[in-house]
Structure 1
């Protein structure tokens, strides 16, 4: 896509109707198939006169001169199916390009998501280790207190642990029941 007429094709098209030439230029810029103008499609009156003078052509009433614009129209009409194919191909290529870009973005998002999940799992493991260590330290600190008569703090901690374990108020020791 993005083809342009060569200088030679543009020189040959100087006798062609400018509107038709504009259509051809747009068609060529959007089409994946490159095409050009041959000499037979656009012979000016001066070129025909030169061909008659040299003896290459016998008449000034040549179909190349008379029908140069009509030949170009015929070429444009014949190009319509190709242009339709070019437009369809271009849009499918654009869609494919967009799909590739979306897939690349999705792959990047999946990679970022995987990395974030791995970091979160590592952080959860670290937190679990820290919590277990702190729980052990707290248990050791409570256990290190002599058993003679527990302090109010040790009783409150023991009551709190019993409640966390799901013990009903009716099953708690008297020291742990509400209103005490």
Structure 2
């Protein structure tokens, strides 16, 4: 007889991860099982000391990360630029609640949150290496967690993409999502 899987809905317990500011972290702040470690190892293998090109990315090498993956493309908007969400994995989609592929970051994040995300993405691009952050989540239910995020820059046709891996610290929630 199969055990009934515990039911969990991010939106019933937490707000969108898009409504909380990012707090800078380092890779050592992530638990050993966090998917960001797998993506970091893959990115490092592509990078060979330099920011990898987007054409080098192959999802078959990071299958367990795909449900957490968000891809943002650096896009010029007149005199400014923003990041357009071009891919949204299923678990990442659940945590963002209302983000949709094709939207610009500023369309689904509040101002202070937008500024922290854009700043971390820019830092990753300018440094040519991944950047890491944490979101402190307030819970309205029985579950408690923060969300740890890795942002990995890639070159693309004279511009950039940033691959983002947001994932709860709480291992039980990871399994339920």
- TM-score class normalised by the smaller sequence: under 0.3
What is the TM-score of this pair, normalised by structure 1? Answer: 0.17
- Relative to its length, the structure with more strand (as a share) is 2
**Higher RCO (CA < 8 A, seq sep 6+):** 2
Structure exhibiting the larger radius of gyration computed from Cα positions: 1
